[in-house]
Each structure stands twice: as structure tokens, then as C-alpha cells.
Structure 1
Amino acid sequence: MATVQAVVGSLTANEREILTAINTGASSLSFVGSGFIVLCYLLFKELRKFSFKLVFFLALSDMLCSFFGIIGDPSKGYFCYAQGYTTHFFCVASFLWTTTIAFTLHRTVVRHKTDVEDLEPMFHLYVWGTSVVMTVLRSIGNDHGHISRMGAWCWAQTSRTGKAVHFITFYAPLWGAILFNGVTYFQVIRMLNNATRMAVGMSERAYQSDSRPDMKALNRWGYYPLILIGSWFFGTINRMHDFIEPGHRIFWLSVLDVGMAALMGLFNSIAYGLNTSVRRAIYERLDLLPERLRRWFPKNLRPRGQQQDSELVSLKTGDQR
């Protein structure tokens, strides 16, 4: 993974092996989690709504980012360069897709627009186009000749220019996405909380008790920006430390950097993908299995009631204005 490629400068061979193992294990978990969401979208036709389509592209980007982190770190040749490009490209695409989800929620809930599906081509141009530009720009300042001397890691940023470009082409847009998501979800949650309080005040107590599950799910949206923060906080600190004190690596910080970044796909698949609609689709298929087999599956796969109003997949984009 790109994060591993950037933290190995002064570490020992044993420490590098530990980081490689951590990256492979965490990336494998992310690959499985995001791959499961991709598979659900392809298998279950009822999930193929616009809002969940965005989750599908998020999971697809996570899955490919994790895949190229798992396949290893070849020491030389064009394959090594390709790995460096692809990991950077799909990791950038991943956090950019989270901004399209936040934008869709804001435009639908706060601005009451119903044209978000018409914006899908713009979303693709924005995500894939920006990812291409950031990946190409990252090649500036890279000492590719250093790969053969290092002998184990692709695309190592060795010059101060290369490190600065890496920060500009990855961490700057990353924290921009975190800021955008945080502000957007805050506005969405604030508006929905106000609307719910008004509705509860005008209704009977029975409605108030029925609204609590929805409010719990709405407030969960506020945790989505924390996924990116948790995944890349240690990586950001590690890059800043390496820029200030080049050649001096902090092993425990590198462990947190590599491990948390590689788990981003797993975190996204749980937060964005495993919603009520997905669990319902899975449970309906489980009903076709014999009873003795259904006992082995967790009971929490059964969706609680029929409430989907607060899930990403259930946003109404074409029937109300």
C-alpha cells in the first residue's frame, strides 16, 4: 500500500516485515468487507438505487485499493510503478466517493432537490478525473531510481520535493474531504433534528417513541467523517514527522499509520454498506435455507421493523420536491 511505501526509510528489515504483515492482514480484511458490499449490489436488484450505487463505487474503490496493497511490493520494473499508481489512484477515489455521498444527502435533505441522479456523470468526472490528476502529479519529485537500491518497496518518496508533492496530492485533498463531509453532515443532522422535534411537538407521545430509532440512525451519520480521520490521522502525523526529521522513523507510529490506513475499506463497508436494506436483502435470502442452517447465522441480520427512512439507500430523489 502507498502508506507502507512511505514509512520504511530507516526501519530495520525485521520492522519492515512486521509492517508488511500488518498491511497485508488489514488490507485483506478491507478487501473482504468491501468485496462483500460490491457482491451484494451485483446480486440484489432491490439495492440498485442511486444512493446505494454511490456506496457501490466507494466499496469498489476500497476493494481495488486493498487488492493492490495485498499483492506485495515488487522491487523493480514497470509493475512496481503500476502498483504505486494504482494504490494512490484508488485510495484517492475512495475518500472522494464519500464526498459525493455527503453531497447527495445535503442536496436531497437540506436543499430539497430531486436532480441528484442527473449529476451522476459529474460525480464520475469529479472522482476519477481528480484521482488521475493527483496520481500523475504525485510522480513529480519521485526518485524512481531509488527503488532498485531499496530493493523491497515501490515508489519511495526520498526527496523533500517528493514528500511535499505526496502530501499535496494525497493528504491535502483527504483533509479537504474530511472538512467537507463534517460540515455537510452537521447541516443535514441539524436540519433533520429540528424537523423531527417540530413533528414530535405537533404529534402524540406514540409518535415520539416511534421516532427514536430513526433519530439514532440519523445521528450515526455524524460518525462517517470520523472514519477518514481515524484511518489517516496517524498517517498524516507520520508524514509531517518524516518531513521535519527525514530518516528518523518512529516504529509504533508507523504501525498505527499502516494498520489504520489499510482498514479504511473495512470501516467504510460497515458504516456505509451494512444498512437496513442490505440486512433485509440478506435475511430474505436466508429464509430460503433450511431451518437447521439458518441457526448458524447471527440473529441481528434480521432488520428491526420496516424502517428505512434514515438509511442512505432509501433517499427519495425523484418523487418529491
Structure 2
Amino acid sequence: MATVLSLHDRGILTAVNSGASSLSFVGSGFIVLCYSLFKELRKFSFKLVFYLSLSDMLCSFFNMVGDPSKGFFCYAQGYTTHFFCVASFLWTTTIAFTLHRTVVRHKTDVEDLEAIFHLYVWGTSLVMTVIRSIGNDHTHLGAWCWAQTGRTGKAIHFITFYVPLWGAILYNGFTYFQVIRMLNNATRMAVGMSDRAYQFDSRTDTKALNRWGYYPLILIGSWAFGTINRIHDFIEPGHKIFWLTFLDVGTAGLMGLFNSIAYGLNASVRRAISERLELFWPERLKRWFPNSSRHRNQQQQSELVSLKVQDQQ
């Protein structure tokens, strides 16, 4: 266990941070671009994914800004990264809430709650970022700024970031569990029905929901090492574990990429891209894929958002 990180270790962490954040920036930026280009994606359900990707993109951008100087730019990077990273995992809770309200409670008023969602996400992120300044003294470490020099600052940083983070993880997990349980019950009821098409749709819905059930693991995988690292740093200040910090920086930086793949690259996005690409395909290539459109339509039916949210607006 090393007391402080060497310059070589810091250089490695800087490269890992920049690389992981760049991948997240590209992934989340791609989803933002798709939303901007394809009008058919501008449904309320995907609009929440757009806000999530926008937060991820800005969080990644400020996280990978190279070597900010001490002073204003260091403060700016630290606070903007904190703000947009908090906003990112808060947007996942609005997606979970929308699913639960639509599927479990059978409400169709989720689109009317958009203003409340904005107030909740951006307002909470701002409050957490302002509170974070209490007892904090930003220091420069490699390619990003840390605000953990004082014991009070470390505690407040943990309270303003990791406490709401794990609250969001628990909420998402509980919400998806309820949604999946309800869909599983609906599937079991459909088994005794003679309508085989309905049974097929129920199995498809359940398959989609089971995939959504893994989404809370994205936040766990992205921030588990960071949480452990913060707790260790609070208990033993001044003693850094390189491999733990390496995993902390790498997994946290990839959060935007994970979110863009899980939330953004659904069947609706893939279908929109495929339709645009088909416009440029030679006719002889289309002959090899005569059933491609029908296959994409089946994929679309398996998407929970299209089935449970968009059709009810």
C-alpha cells in the first residue's frame, strides 16, 4: 500500500480517465445525435433517454478536460462534473418511475410530469453541488480536480454524491423488481389462454423487462469501486491504493458508455438507423435481405418503451 501516488501512477490514471471518458462522450453523444436527427424518436419515453445521454455527455466532457489549472478552472471542472454526474443517475430514476407508473399503476399522465422531472433532476443536482462546496478545498490531481483534502470535505462529498447515488440504485432496483413481477404474473395468466398471439406478446414483454432489470447494475458497476475507494480514503487518509483508484477511475468514466448502450441503443434507434442506411443500399443488396423490415418490426414489439409508454400517449 502506497502512501501517495507517484507521478507515473498519476499519469496512468490520467490516461485511463481520458480514455474512458472519451468513450462515454462518444457513446452518449451518438444517442443525442440520433434524437436530434430522427423525428420518430422524439417520444416522451426516449426524451428521458436523451436527457440522460446529454447529462452523460457533459459529465464525460468536463471529466476528460486535460490538465485544468489550479483556481477557477479547477473549481469549474470539479463542480460541473459533480453536477452532471448527479443529474445522470437522477435521470435513470425518472425512467424507472415512468415505467412503474405506466406498467404497474396504469397511468397515462407521465408526459405531464416532464416539468416536475426537470425540477427534480436539475434542482437536486444544483443543491448537491452547492452543498458540496462546504468544507471543500479543490486540489489538482492529474487530469481532473478532487475536492477531498479535508475530512469534512470528504464527508460532505460522500453525502452529496454517493448517498443519493445509492438511493437511486435502491429505488431503481425496487421499481424494476415490481415491474418485472407484474409482467411475470401477466405471463403466467396468459399461459392458460387460447390466444397464442397474446401468449407470444407476453413472453416478449417479459423478456424485455428482464433485460431492463439489469439496468441498476450499470450504476453499481460504475460506482462500486469509487464508493469503496472513498470509504477507504476517509478511514485511512493519505494512503492510496493504486489498483483500487485505477478501477474507480476506469469504471466511473465508462458510465456514459454503459448508459448509452443499455438505454439508448434499443430497437427503435436501430430501426431508424437501418431505414436510413437502406436508402443508400444498392438494390442487389436488398434482395439478400427481403425479411429485414419484418424482423425489425418484431424487434420493435419487444421494446418495453414502445409497448407500454409511447402507445398510451
TM-score (norm 2): 0.91
Per-residue CA deviation, residues 153-181 of structure 1 (Å, 9 max, x unaligned), is: 52431111000000000000000000000
Distance 2:232 2:32 in 1: 36
Match of 1:265 in 2: 256
Match of 1:84 in 2: 78
Q: In terms of mean alpha carbon deviation, does 200-209 or 76-85 score higher?
A: 200-209
What does 1:110-259 align with in structure 2 at a 5 Å threshold? 110-144=104-138, 146-147=139-140, 153-205=144-196, 207-209=198-200, 211-259=202-250
Question: Aligned pairs, how many?
Answer: 307
- Give how far 1:196 is off: 1.9
Preserved CA contact (<8 Å) 1:115 1:318: no
Q: Residue 304 of structure 2 is aligned with which of 284, 307, 311? A: 311
Q: Residue 62 of structure 1 is aligned with which of 52, 56, 66? A: 56
Distance 1:162 1:294 in 2: 61
- Give how far 1:193 is off: 1.1
Distance 2:114 2:196 in 1: 41
Which consecutive residues of structure 2, in runs of 5 or more, have no partner in the other structure? 287-291
Which consecutive residues of structure 1, in runs of 5 or more, have no partner in the other structure? 1-7
Per-residue CA deviation, residues 172-224 of structure 1 (Å, 9 max, x unaligned), is: 00000000000000000100111122123213556545543332212101101
Match of 2:6 in 1: 12
Q: In terms of mean alpha carbon deviation, does 118-127 or 286-295 score higher?
A: 286-295
Preserved CA contact (<8 Å) 1:51 1:315: no
Match of 1:48 in 2: 42
Per-residue CA deviation, residues 52-103 of structure 1 (Å, 9 max, x unaligned), is: 0000000000000001112123131211111111000000000000000000
Preserved CA contact (<8 Å) 1:15 1:251: yes
TM-score (norm 1): 0.89
Distance 1:190 1:200 in 2: 16
Q: Residue 15 of structure 2 is aligned with which of 13, 16, 21? A: 21
% of aligned pairs identical?
A: 78
What does 1:26-37 align with in structure 2 at a 5 Å threshold? 26-37=20-31
- Give how far 1:141 is off: 1.0
Counterpart of 2:152, as a letter, is: T
Q: CA RMSD in A?
A: 2.5
Preserved CA contact (<8 Å) 1:108 1:317: no
Give the ranges of 4+ consecutive aligned residues of structure 1 lying more than 6 Å apart after TM superposition.
292-295
Match of 2:289 in 1: none
Distance 1:221 1:206 in 2: 23
- Give how far 1:131 is off: 0.3
